[in-house]
Structure formats: structure tokens, C-alpha cells
């Protein structure tokens, strides 16, 4: 039993017990005694063979109503603390062992307004080693979370036991994290200790095809063909080393790095422009090499900002990757869900998803005001089109009028206002957008060609 760290006894108390990995026969005598002793009882989920022993209130409704697991865990903790405050002492039962892959227990242990007492229990890990006939210490097995396999298994060659493989989406993400699996095979473990226990071996390619996952599914990988995310793992270590040992890196802050992030972004854009202009095969090879280099410089800035945030206790680069992964999944229900969406409906769906996610009142909220004017205008028009708002329509607009307006700007500059010129530029942006041309890029490339003409003229005159 692990008593909470120096907390006063008069605090409300939460006894946390584990229901073991399978049926009632694997629940410890100590857990059964506490179930009888504590009157007010809660169980995280009834989706467990031993859950009926508790005869307490479950939190299954939170899984059905809240949008993310993180939100579910936070709400469970708040409910438990409130109940403990009301009743002085409560029991909280979780599947398996309280200290194995139980985030709510971690959150409760961090609270200072309740006394948390964690009681030991049998976990799925104990049954896994028996089923696999593996000594985890001698073999050096590492346990990783299936939700974060790509980041947590970075640099690992195996053996790995992957927990929390409860859905086809998780299994698919695990499978796709290995670029070239070769002949890799995995062992699937399901419902260990239960009458319908299954342990079977499959090809890596069949991980999300031949398995019907549930909340009692895990996967064992004796050896990976190549460490997952090794290049990114090595790069993360390098950036942290530079931050520690290089005087220049050690002095940087989020604010001081802003100019470098902007410069690297523009240099990457320039590499993309030059790639579009390449004609000969040798030019294409060189341009792709330049683009690779610029993307690397840009990636360094991203990792650097993530390292600074890690130092401040906010997030790390794995959180960055995981966050954008989850956001893209949420915003693509037509790919990862059952929703059917046409290409024409996608922009409106995307904007509606962002409004709900960010709690914004308008699609125009969130457009950076510091964007270059042409890019800003393009974004404004695209967002307006996405929700069906009227914008300049070049197909219905007389292009001759645009030309006449342009001549008027040159011929009668004193008679025109800034608003008149703005109308003309806004219409030109709409024309470019209707043609699938990026106005910002088009103007930049044209200006670049003009600059080359000026250089050529200068060289002839000299």
C-alpha cells in the first residue's frame, strides 16, 4: 500500500484498487476486503469482467459524451474529488493494476486536496509474460502506449509490448509507423486470463486487418526491422545537446527565434518557387536538394521551439506531433469516420470544425493580421467562399472593366483613393484564386523576374 505523501489524515480519502486483468478469480483478497469495507464505491468502467464485484457508480457516460480521453479523465477526477469531499472516504476501482496505464490515478496522485491511497493488484503485464514465455527483465522488454507508438518507440529496435490497442485506428497507426516492415511479425494478446483468451501471431501488414481489437488487446513485437522514428529521435537529442552546450543556442528564447523562423519560412518558399521554375533534369535534382536543406532548417526551428517549451514544462515535440495528428483525424471524419462528404462540401465542413474546436464566433477569427496583404486577402476570400458568402466573381465580372480600372489608376492617380486601389487589388486576388493561382507567389515570381531584368540591364551598362 502506498500512502499519500505526508498529507494530513483529515483530508477526504480515496482508496484506489485494481480489478486485475480478467475475471473475479484474479482479483486480490485485499481488493475484495476493501470493496466490502468502503460503502461509497466507483468503478472507472463497467467494460471489465470483474466490474460487477464493485456494485458502484461507473463513469461510462463520460466516455459517451465528452470529446477526448483527456476530457474524460479530467472529469472523472473532478467527480471523484467531489464525492470524496462529500462522503469523507470513497473507493475507486480500475481495470488491471492502478499503477499500469491508468492516467486518472496519476491525476489523482497529483491532487493536494484529497488523500490518495493506491493498493496493488495484478496487471495484464503479469499475464503477458506468462503467455509469451518471456522474462521481461532478461529480454529488456519496453512497454509503450499504442496511442503514442510512433513517438514512444522512437529509436527502439525491440522487443516491445504495445498496450492500449483497443481500436482499428490505433492498430493502423502502429502499423503505418514502420516504413519498411519487411517480414516482421507480431504477437496479438487478447483477454488474457479470460475463458476466451487469444494469443496468436500475424504478419505486420495484417495488424489492422486480421485483428478485432477490444479494450483488452495488446501487441508484442520481438524485433523491429528499423527503429521507429530514429532520425527524428536523433535530431531531438541533437537540438537538446546544442541548447545545453552551445553558447548561442543557450541564450535563445521564443521571442529571439521569431526572425529566424520567418527567414527560414521565406527561404523554403523560395526553394519551392525555384523548383517550379527548374527545367533541365540536373536543375530539378539540385532544386530538390535545396528544398530538402531548407525544410531541414525549418524543422530545426520547430524542434527548437518545442525544446524551449519542454524546458518550461508545457509540451515536447512528441506532443506537437500527437496534437496535429489528432487534430487532422478530427477534421477528416470523411476519412477516419463514417461521414460521407463531397469535394465541394469539404471547405464548409473544415471551417465548421475549426469554429467548434476553437470556440470562435466567425470564420475570419484566427487569420493572422500580420500576413502579407495578398495572402491575407486570399485567405479572407477563401473563408468567405467556404461559408457561401458573396465575393468578387471574375466569371461574372467584365475583365475589360478590370483593365479600365487599372488604366484609371495610372491615368488619374489624384482622382482615385486608397479604397479604389484596394478594390482593384481585391478583384485581382479573386481572379487569381478563380484560376487556382496563388496571388502572393505570382507577384513574388514576377517581381523576381523583373529584378533579374534590372540586373541584366545593369551589367550591360557597366
Residue 7 lies in a domain: no
Are the C-beta atoms of 68 and 115 separated by less than 8 Å?
no
Q: Are residues 117 and 27 in the same domain?
A: yes
pLDDT at 13: 95
Domain end among 157, 191, 221: 221
Residue 5 lies in a domain: no
User: DSSP E strands: which ranges in 164-230?
Assistant: 185-190, 198-203, 217-221
Cα Rg, the chain, nearest whole Å:
30
Question: Could you tell me the pTM of the whole model?
Answer: 0.54
Picking from 298, 277, 284, 283, the residue whose alpha carbon sits closest to that of residue 441 is 277
Q: Are residues 174 and 105 in the same domain?
A: no
pLDDT at 42: 97
Q: Are residues 84 and 107 in the same domain?
A: yes
CATH number where 80 lies:
3.40.1010.10
Are the C-beta atoms of 250 and 307 separated by less than 8 Å?
no
- Rounded Cα distance between 60 and 46, Å, is 7
C-alpha cell, 1: 500500500
Residue 302 lies in a domain: yes
For the CA atoms of 322, 325, 327, 333, the dihedral, rounded to the nearest 10 degrees, stands at: -140
- Rounded Cα distance between 73 and 343, Å, is 36
The domain in which residue 197 lies consists of: 127-221
Are the C-beta atoms of 142 and 38 separated by less than 8 Å?
no
Q: Are residues 117 and 148 in the same domain?
A: no
Picking from 74, 78, 77, 72, the residue whose alpha carbon sits closest to that of residue 60 is 72
Instruction: Spell out the per-residue pLDDT of the chain, length 462, in tens.
Output: 454 555 555 899 999 999 999 889 999 999 999 999 999 999 999 988 899 999 999 999 998 888 888 889 999 999 999 999 999 999 999 999 999 888 899 999 999 999 999 999 999 999 999 999 999 999 999 999 898 887 778 778 889 999 989 889 899 989 988 877 888 899 999 999 888 999 999 999 999 999 999 888 999 999 887 777 777 878 888 999 999 999 999 999 999 998 889 889 888 988 888 887 776 667 888 889 999 999 999 999 999 999 999 999 999 888 898 888 888 887 777 777 666 666 666 666 655 665 556 656 665 666 666 667 777 777 777 766 666 676 666 655 555 666 666 676 666 666 667 777 777 778 888 888 778 787 777 777 777 777 777 777 777 776
For the CA atoms of 356, 361, 362, 363, the dihedral, rounded to the nearest 10 degrees, stands at: -20
Total domains, the chain: 4
- Rounded Cα distance between 445 and 449, Å, is 6
CATH number where 163 lies:
3.30.950.10
Amino acid at each position: 500500500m502506498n500512502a499519500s505523501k505526508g498529507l494530513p489524515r483529515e483530508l477526504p480519502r480515496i482508496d484506489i484498487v485494481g480489478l486485475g486483468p480478467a475475471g473475479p478469480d484474479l482479483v486480490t483478497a485485499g481488493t475484495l476486503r476493501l470493496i466490502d469495507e468502503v460503502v461509497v464505491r466507483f468503478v472507472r468502467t463497467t467494460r471489465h469482467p470483474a466490474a460487477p464485484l464493485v456494485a458502484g457508480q461507473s463513469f461510462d457516460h463520460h466516455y459517451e459524451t465528452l470529446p477526448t480521453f483527456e476530457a474524460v479523465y479530467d472529469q472523472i477526477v473532478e467527480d471523484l474529488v467531489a464525492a470524496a469531499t462529500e462522503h469523507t472516504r470513497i473507493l475507486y476501482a480500475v481495470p488491471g493494476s492502478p499503477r499500469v496505464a491508468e492516467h486518472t490515478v496519476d491525476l489523482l496522485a497529483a491532487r493536494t486536496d484529497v488523500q490518495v491511497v493506491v493498493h496493488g493488484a495484478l496487471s495484464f503485464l503479469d499475464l503477458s509474460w506468462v503467455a509469451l514465455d518471456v522474462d521481461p527483465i532478461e529480454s529488456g522488454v519496453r512497454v509503450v502506449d499504442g496511442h503514442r507508438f510512433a513517438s514512444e518507440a522512437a529509436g527502439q529496435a525491440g522487443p516491445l509490448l504495445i498496450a492500449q490497442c483497443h481500436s482499428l485506428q490505433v492498430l493502423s497507426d502502429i502499423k503505418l509507423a514502420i516504413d519498411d516492415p519487411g517480414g516482421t511479425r507480431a504477437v496479438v494478446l487478447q483477454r488474457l486470463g479470460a475463458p476466451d483468451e487469444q494469443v496468436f501471431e500475424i504478419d505486420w501488414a495484417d495488424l489492422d486487418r486480421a485483428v478485432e481489437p477490444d479494450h483488452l488487446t495488446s501487441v508484442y513485437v520481438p524485433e523491429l526491422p528499423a527503429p521507429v522514428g530514429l532520425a527524428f529521435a536523433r535530431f531531438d537529442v541533437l537540438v537538446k545537446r546544442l541548447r545545453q552546450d552551445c553558447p548561442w543556442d543557450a541564450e535563445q528564447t521564443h521571442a529571439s527565434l521569431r526572425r529566424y523562423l520567418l527567414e527560414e519560412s521565406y527561404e523554403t518558399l523560395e526553394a519551392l518557387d525555384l523548383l517550379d521554375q527548374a527545367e533541365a533534369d540536373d536543375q530539378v535534382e539540385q532544386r530538390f536538394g535545396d528544398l530538402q536543406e531548407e525544410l531541414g532548417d525549418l524543422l530545426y526551428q520547430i524542434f527548437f521551439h518545442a525544446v524551449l517549451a519542454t524546458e518550461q514544462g508545457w509540451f515536447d515535440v512528441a506532443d506537437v506531433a500527437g496534437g496535429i495528428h489528432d487534430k487532422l483525424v478530427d477534421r477528416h471524419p470523411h476519412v477516419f469516420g463514417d461521414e460521407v462528404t463531397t469535394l465541394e462540401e469539404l471547405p464548409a465542413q473544415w471551417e465548421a470544425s475549426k469554429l467548434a474546436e476553437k470556440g470562435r464566433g466567425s470564420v475570419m477569427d484566427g487569420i493572422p493580421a500580420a500576413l502579407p496583404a495578398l495572402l491575407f486577402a486570399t485567405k479572407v476570400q477563401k473563408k468567405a467562399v467556404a461559408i457561401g458568402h458573396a465575393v468578387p466573381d471574375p466569371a461574372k465580372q467584365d475583365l475589360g472593366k478590370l483593365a479600365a480600372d487599372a488604366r484609371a489608376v495610372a491615368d488619374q492617380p489624384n482622382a482615385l483613393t486608397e479604397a479604389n486601389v484596394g478594390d482593384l487589388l481585391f478583384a485581382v486576388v479573386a481572379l487569381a484564386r478563380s484560376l487556382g493561382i496563388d496571388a502572393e507567389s505570382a507577384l513574388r515570381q514576377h517581381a523576381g523576374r523583373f529584378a533579374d531584368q534590372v540586373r541584366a540591364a545593369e551589367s550591360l551598362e557597366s
